[in-house]
Amino acid sequence: MVPEVPKDHPRYESLITREKLIEGMHQKVVAEAGLIAHGRGEAFDYILGEITPPFALRQEKLAVITLLLAKSPVISVNGNVAALCPKEIVSLSEALGAPLEINLFYRTQERETAIEEALVKAGAKSILGTDPSYQNTITEISHLRRIVDTRGIASSDCVFVPLEDGDRTIALRKLKKEIVTVDLNPISRTSLTSTVSITNNIIRAVVEMVKFANEFKDFNRSDLLEEKKRYNNKDLLQEALQFMSSRLLKLANEKNIFEIF
Ligand code: PTJ
- The residue ranking higher by pLDDT, 5 or 245, is 245
Contact 213, 180 (CB under 8 A): no
Does ligand 1 lie within 6 Å of residue 129's CB atom?
no
The answer, yes or no, to whether residue 2 has pLDDT greater than 60, is: no
Atom of ligand 1 nearest to the CA of 40: 25
Instruction: Indicate the average pLDDT of the chain.
Output: 94
Ligand 1 binding pocket mutation candidate from 27, 35, 42, 80 (most atoms within 8 A of CB): 80
pLDDT in tens, 217-228: 999 999 999 999
DSSP category for residue 3: P
Q: What angle do CA 140, 144, 147 make, to 5 degrees?
A: 70
Residues 74, 100: Cα–Cα separation, whole Å: 6
CA-203 nearest atom, ligand 1: 36
Rg (the chain; Cα; Å): 18
Using a 6 Å cutoff on CB, does residue 233 contact ligand 1? no
Q: What's the rounded mean pLDDT across residues 51-62? A: 98
Rounded to an integer, the average pLDDT of 36-64 is 97
- Residue with CA nearest ligand 1 atom 31: 41
The pLDDT score that the predictor gives to residue 221 is 97
Closest CA to 200 of 151, 138, 244, 146: 244
Q: Is 31 in the pocket of ligand 1 (CB under 6 A)?
A: yes
CB distance 47 to 199 below 8 Å: no
pLDDT at 260 over 80: no
The residue whose CB lies within 8 Å of the most ligand 1 atoms, and thus the one to mutate among 108, 163, 189, 201, is: 163
Cα separation values, 140 from 105, 158, 160, 172, Å? 15, 17, 18, 8
CA 148 – CA 153 distance, rounded (Å): 6
Query: In the predicted model, is pLDDT for residue 196 greater than 70?
Result: yes
Going by pLDDT thresholds of 50, 70 and 90, the confidence category of residue 3 is low
Strand arrangement, sheet containing 100-102: 127-128, 100-102, 73-77, 158-160, 178-182, 196-198
3-state secondary structure of 251: helix
What stretches of 44-105 adopt beta strand conformation (E)?
73-77, 100-102
**Which of 1 and 80 is assigned the larger pLDDT?**
80
Judged against a pLDDT cut of 80, whether residue 259 lies above it is answered with no
Q: Does residue 2 or residue 90 have the better pLDDT?
A: 90
Q: What's the average model confidence in pLDDT over 183-194?
A: 97
Tell me which residue has its CA closest to atom 35 in ligand 1: 201
pLDDT of residue 249: 94
